Amino acid sequence: MLAERLAAQMLAGEPARDPVGVAQRLLAVQAQDARGARLAVRTRTLGSGTTAADVDRALTDERSLVVSWLNRGTLHLVRREDWPWLHALTTPPLRTGNLRRLAQEGVPPDDAERGVAAVERALADDGPLTREQLRERVAAAGVRTQGQALVHVLMAATLRGRIVRGPLAGTRHAFVLARDWLGQDATRPPARDAALAELARRYLAGHGPAGEHDLARWAGLPLRDARAGLRAIAPQLAQRGDGLLDLAARPAAADAPLPPPRLLGPFDPLLLGWRSRDDVLGPRGTGIVTTNGIFRPFLLVRGRAAGIWRLERGAVALAPFEPLPSRDAAALRRDAADVLRFLDA
| Cis peptide bond N-terminal to 128, omega within 30 | yes
Q: Note whether residue 107 is domain-resident.
A: yes
Model confidence at 345: pLDDT above 60? no
Question: For residue 253, what pLDDT is reported?
Answer: 57
Highest mean predicted confidence (pLDDT) among 168-172, 189-193, 303-307: 303-307
The one-letter code for the residue type at 227 is: R
Strands (E), the chain: 29-30, 65-69, 75-79, 163-169, 172-177, 237-239, 245-247, 262-264, 298-301, 304-312, 315-320
181 and 272 together in one domain: no
Are residues 49 and 134 part of one domain? yes
pLDDT at 188: 74
Instruction: Flag whether 269 is in a domain.
Output: yes
In a domain, 234, yes or no: no
Tens digits of per-residue pLDDT, 68-91? 999 999 999 999 999 999 999 999
Tell me: do 268 and 181 sit in the same domain.
no
Q: What is the mean pLDDT of residues 241-256?
A: 81
- Mean pLDDT, range 297-324, rounded to an integer: 95
Residue 230 belongs to a domain: no
* 124, 34: one domain: yes
Q: Residues 177, 282: one domain?
A: no
Residues 33 and 139 in one domain: yes
- Asked if residue 236 belongs to a domain, the reply is no
Assess whether 174 and 316 both reside in one domain: no
Q: How confident is the model at residue 283 (pLDDT cuts 50, 70, 90)?
A: confident
Whether 158 and 282 map to the same domain: the answer is no
The SS3 of residue 233 is coil
119 within domain boundaries: yes
Distance CA 230, CA 245 (A): 9
Confirm whether 216 is domain-assigned: no
Query: For residue 255, what pLDDT is reported?
Result: 65
Whether 167 and 50 share a structural domain: yes
Final residue of a domain: which of 163, 187, 211?
187
Bigger pLDDT: 291 vs 253: 291
Give the domain range for residue 282: 262-344
Which of 149, 164, 187 is where one domain is finished? 187
Range with lowest mean pLDDT among 16-20, 74-78, 201-205, 288-292: 288-292
pLDDT score, position 171: 83
Query: What per-residue confidence (pLDDT) applies to 4?
Result: 93
pLDDT at res. 284 = 65
Are 179 and 269 within one domain?
A: no
Residue 170's pLDDT band (cuts 50, 70, 90): confident
Same domain, 157 and 63: yes
Using pLDDT thresholds of 50, 70 and 90, give the confidence band for residue 154.
very high
In whole angstroms, give the CA distance from residue 151 to residue 101: 10
In a domain, 4, yes or no: no
Q: What are phi and psi of 165, to 5 degrees?
A: -85, 125
**What percentage of the chain has pLDDT greater than the value 70?**
97
Q: Which of 187, 219, 254 is the last residue of a domain?
A: 187
In order of 5, 122, 260, 330, 342, the CA distances from 282 in angstroms are 16, 49, 19, 24, 29
Q: What is the CA radius of gyration of the chain?
A: 21
Per-residue pLDDT, 187: 65
Residue 252 scores a pLDDT above 70? no
The mean pLDDT value for 137-154 works out to 98
d(C-alpha 345, C-alpha 42), whole Å? 12
Q: Which residues contact 237 (CB under 8 A, 6 or more apart)?
A: 204, 230, 245, 246, 247, 248
Looking at residue 292, its pLDDT comes to 83
Chain-wide mean pLDDT for the chain?
A: 94
Place 249 in a pLDDT band, splitting at 50, 70 and 90: confident
Q: Once rounded to an integer, what is the mean pLDDT over residues 219-242? A: 96
| pLDDT mean over 225-254 | 90
- List pLDDT tens digits, range 189-230: 779 999 999 999 999 999 999 999 999 999 999 999 999 999
